[in-house]
Structure 1
């Protein structure tokens, strides 16, 4: 195992507490109940773990949102009914899924349904157990061949997953887990997600036993990291996951949205989303291990207002187009060549002590600014 992979000894319990407190305090829920209809629907082509490219429908249902909203960069809590009593009812969720599965005239063909709820699908506070199974039954008779949902690993247990898989009746299940980083300091402190090595690897074991495919999300340049550290973090994380036999991975370039720690860092000039060329460099360094995808919605800005990864006006669109082509083909020849705007990049190791000290200093700046 790599020296700084997952649960190695890292400094900064107080830092984790400070970041977690700030992240939770910045959350906003609003007071108006949002309509019981999906807040996002899109169609695209996606490459499966076996290399085939198929049509996908991606839907984010309006829900009560994540029950563990601690992450420093995640804006999704602000776009659902988080914290509003009665924000998610059994019938609301089921009706949204029924409408999603009703094929309409002119709708693109798809065999993959990515059904997201701005949180953990298998968390009972977010989607009750009986509703989870009823959704599986609806999907089973819809003509969909593969269902993708997301969950934190602590909710992925055999008693929960087994009846769901049975109700799917042959539809292949893929569960996305936002590990974000294989490095404990980055994952549990800087990103502030509640995922331990133990819970993650246990969830992978449960999934393997039930024939469920893992889809692991890794961040490119989480808050508090530099561009060079970001590349090191991605490479080490991919090495860790491939060592566990994971083949399905998606790289998520960090974007900056309101009511998050990342936003406050950006506002004070202490953080920028990764340069698009840093994204390309990360992909180039891992493509020989496996053909990762890049979450290009994080680059196009098609769902809500954010500050997105960028490059110069002459090449930014071409770089995003190239990354999208690579996402379908897995062929490094589809990656962009170069641009005179490409900034120098020194790939540097993850020095935990230095990173923790920098993060603490940046928090001090936010506190002095009254954040």
Structure 2
């Protein structure tokens, strides 16, 4: 999975620590608590592992957010009650789920419920154990065919999953894990997520044993990488995951939002979100192995303020529309045609020594500017 880092281990460890400290320092708590009601609700269609296209309801609960908010690009602490005491109250979470599952005549039909909490559903600090199981019972009684939640892998164990799966009954469970990259330097230092190869593969094993489907998120162009390196990173990550038998993958083009390391790099002129054509190129290089999806709400920028992946005015919307069609069909003929705005793309190997040195230089720039 991980390639050997060619810089001295102490240098990488120091870089990881400094990036993590900055990421945490940039997080901000809201001055007052937001109401306990879902912060985002949307309906769309999604292709299941068996190829069927079904309706989906996507809901992001108002919560206390992630208990491990170290990632350099993650903006979600801006949107929830991060840092506020009692934000993950039992009643508040359950009332939101009950309201979510109350169907109305005007509501679009859906078979899949994606229920997110801006963090790890199976982290007890974020969703208490008894609340997890009660949510499973509520979903099972509501006629949902498939439930999707997200979690860091260290919280996904057989002991935690078994009662949850039992309470779901006939509802199929899918767990999204933001691996982001199969490359250790990219994942653990540049993205700064607390996911190790051991914890990830252990979680996959636990899920497989209980009939739970994995849904793995991969970033397109994490902070500190170039567009050309980003394509290589996606291809190598897909190779790793397919080698483990994973079929469900979603590509997440990086967005730039406030209170993140990515934002500070962008402000300093040291980073840009990936070009839309970089996303297309990454898909073209992996689609024959599997029909990956692209998180297209990330390309519309419709859920919260951010600088999102773009191209020229003539083609940007067409590219996003094409990526959405591809997400539904998996047919490469739905991918967009070329555009004169498409910049040259030098796809290159991941040179760990050069990447780590670049990241260290960029962090030094941020330090000098007082970030």
TM-score of the superposition, structure 1-length normalised? 0.98
SS, match of residue 179 in structure 2: strand
Post-superposition CA distance 1:250-298 (Å, at most 9, x none)? 0000000000000000001000000000000000000001000000011
Matches of 1:90 and 1:143, distance apart in 2: 23
Task: Determine the structure 2 residue equivalent to 1:123.
Answer: 123
Matches of 1:52 and 1:249, distance apart in 2: 16
1:6 CA drift (Å): 2.3
Is residue 251 of structure 2 the alignment partner of residue 251 of structure 1? yes
Is residue 2 of structure 2 the alignment partner of residue 6 of structure 1? yes
Matches of 2:4 and 2:154, distance apart in 1: 20
Do the aligned partners of 1:46 and 1:55 also contact (CA within 8 Å) in 2?
yes
SS, match of residue 124 in structure 1: coil
Post-superposition CA distance 1:80-103 (Å, at most 9, x none)? 111111112101000000000001
Matches of 2:126 and 2:359, distance apart in 1: 32
Post-superposition CA distance 1:295-315 (Å, at most 9, x none)? 001100110010000000000
Task: Determine the structure 2 residue equivalent to 1:157.
Answer: 157
1:7 CA drift (Å): 6.4
SS, match of residue 215 in structure 2: strand
SS, match of residue 211 in structure 2: coil
Task: Determine the structure 2 residue equivalent to 1:222.
Answer: 222
1:49 CA drift (Å): 1.1
Task: Determine the structure 2 residue equivalent to 1:80.
Answer: 80
Task: Determine the structure 2 residue equivalent to 1:57.
Answer: 57
1:158 CA drift (Å): 0.7
Matches of 1:148 and 1:67, distance apart in 2: 20
Matches of 2:98 and 2:296, distance apart in 1: 27
1:31 CA drift (Å): 2.3
Matches of 1:109 and 1:220, distance apart in 2: 32
Is residue 198 of structure 2 the alignment partner of residue 198 of structure 1? yes
Matches of 2:200 and 2:5, distance apart in 1: 18
Do the aligned partners of 2:5 and 2:353 also contact (CA within 8 Å) in 1?
no
1:8-87 matches, within 5 Å, as 8-9=4-5, 11=7, 12-87=12-87
Matches of 2:325 and 2:315, distance apart in 1: 15
1:259-270 matches, within 5 Å, as 259-270=259-270
1:105 CA drift (Å): 2.2
Runs in 1 of length 4+ with deviation above 4 angstroms?
none
1:354-369 matches, within 5 Å, as 354-369=354-369
Do the aligned partners of 1:232 and 1:349 also contact (CA within 8 Å) in 2?
yes
Do the aligned partners of 2:58 and 2:114 also contact (CA within 8 Å) in 1?
yes
Do the aligned partners of 1:7 and 1:197 also contact (CA within 8 Å) in 2?
no
Matches of 2:261 and 2:51, distance apart in 1: 37
1:264-279 matches, within 5 Å, as 264-279=264-279
SS, match of residue 252 in structure 1: strand
Gaps of 5+ in 2: none
Do the aligned partners of 1:10 and 1:185 also contact (CA within 8 Å) in 2?
no
Post-superposition CA distance 1:137-188 (Å, at most 9, x none)? 0000101000000000000011100000000011000000000000000000
Matches of 1:53 and 1:332, distance apart in 2: 17
Matches of 2:79 and 2:304, distance apart in 1: 9
Do the aligned partners of 2:178 and 2:217 also contact (CA within 8 Å) in 1?
yes
Matches of 1:256 and 1:339, distance apart in 2: 24
SS, match of residue 284 in structure 1: helix
The alignment covers a number of residue pairs equal to 367
Matches of 1:208 and 1:87, distance apart in 2: 32
1:10 CA drift (Å): 5.3
Post-superposition CA distance 1:36-85 (Å, at most 9, x none)? 00000000000111111100000000001100000000000121111111
Task: Determine the structure 1 residue equivalent to 2:287.
Answer: 287
Do the aligned partners of 1:7 and 1:196 also contact (CA within 8 Å) in 2?
no
1:301-340 matches, within 5 Å, as 301-340=301-340
Matches of 2:174 and 2:130, distance apart in 1: 20
Is residue 110 of structure 2 the alignment partner of residue 110 of structure 1? yes
SS, match of residue 240 in structure 1: helix
